[in-house]
Amino acid sequence: MQNRTFYNEILTEHNMHPIHKSPLIEPTASLRGVNPSCGDDVTLQLKIRDGVIEDGAFIGDGCAISQASADMMLELVIGRSVEEALSLKDTFMKMIKGKVTEEELDLLEEASSLQDISHMPARVKCAVLGWRTLAEILEKGEEGEEVTTEDGLR
């Protein structure tokens, strides 16, 4: 029963009824992220103005963890500045590596429900796909390259 907490209600709800899974009208940036070996596929679209993520959405398919994680991420970062979003990304990555504090965990809101992924190495790349794609857009803008987590976190 080691991964009982994976498929909690928060995760299944975001997977079955995602809030942000629909194409965005006139995004300012759009980037695709894939996990080739398991077929997770997320195209992230953002509307960024004056350093603030005004809106965001994703389209794609894949396992519940990849899709729900992207949805929870967008719920968290929409309305935040680019700096805040990147800081949250760092916190999420710390959580996935099992090195997060209780205070930091609170900052992640619903995304903190994926904490136990840190015990399941094979699923880590599913959880981080959306976040890695987000970071690529925010750090490199239009120059960002398609993201693959194949050689990602271990």
Partner 1 sequence: MIRTIEEIRQDFPFFSGTDLAYLDNSATSQRPRAVIEAVEAYYYHKNANPFRGLYDLSVEATEAYEAARERVAGFINAKDSSEVIFTRNASESLNLVAYSLGSLVLTPGDEMICSVVEHHSNLLPWQHAAKRAGATVKYMTPEADGSFAVEKLQELLTEKTKIVALTAMSNVFGQTSDIRALAAEAHKVGAYFVADGAQSVPHGKTDVQALDVDFLAFSGHKMLAPMGIGVLYGKEKLLDRMPPFLTGGEMIETVSLDAVTYAELPHKFEAGTVNAGGAVGLAAAIDYIEAIGIDEIVAREAELSRMAYHLIKEIPHIELLGAENPEGHHGIFTFRVEGVHPHDVAAIMAEQGVAVRAGHHCAEPLHQYLQIPSTTRASLMFYNTEEEIEKLAAAMRNIRPFMGYKD
* Residue 149: both structure tokens together: 């987590």
**Closest approach of Cβ 65 to partner 1, in Å?**
7
**Contact positions vs partner 1 (CB under 8 A):** 1-4, 6-7, 12-13, 15-16, 37-39, 62-65, 120, 122-123, 126
Residue ranges of the alpha helices (H) in the chain? Answer: 9-16, 64-77, 82-96, 102-107, 121-140
- Report, in Å, the least distance between residue 3 CB and partner 1: 6
Output the smallest distance, CB 5 to partner 1, in A.
9
Note the helical H segments in 9-120.
Answer: 9-16, 64-77, 82-96, 102-107
CA gap 126, 104 in Å, rounded: 21
Tokens describing residue 13: 């709800």
Based on CB atoms, which residue is closest to partner 1, 25 or 122? Answer: 122
- The minimum distance between CB 139 and partner 1, in angstroms, equals 28
Measured from the CB atom, the residue of 1 and 25 that comes closer to partner 1 is 1
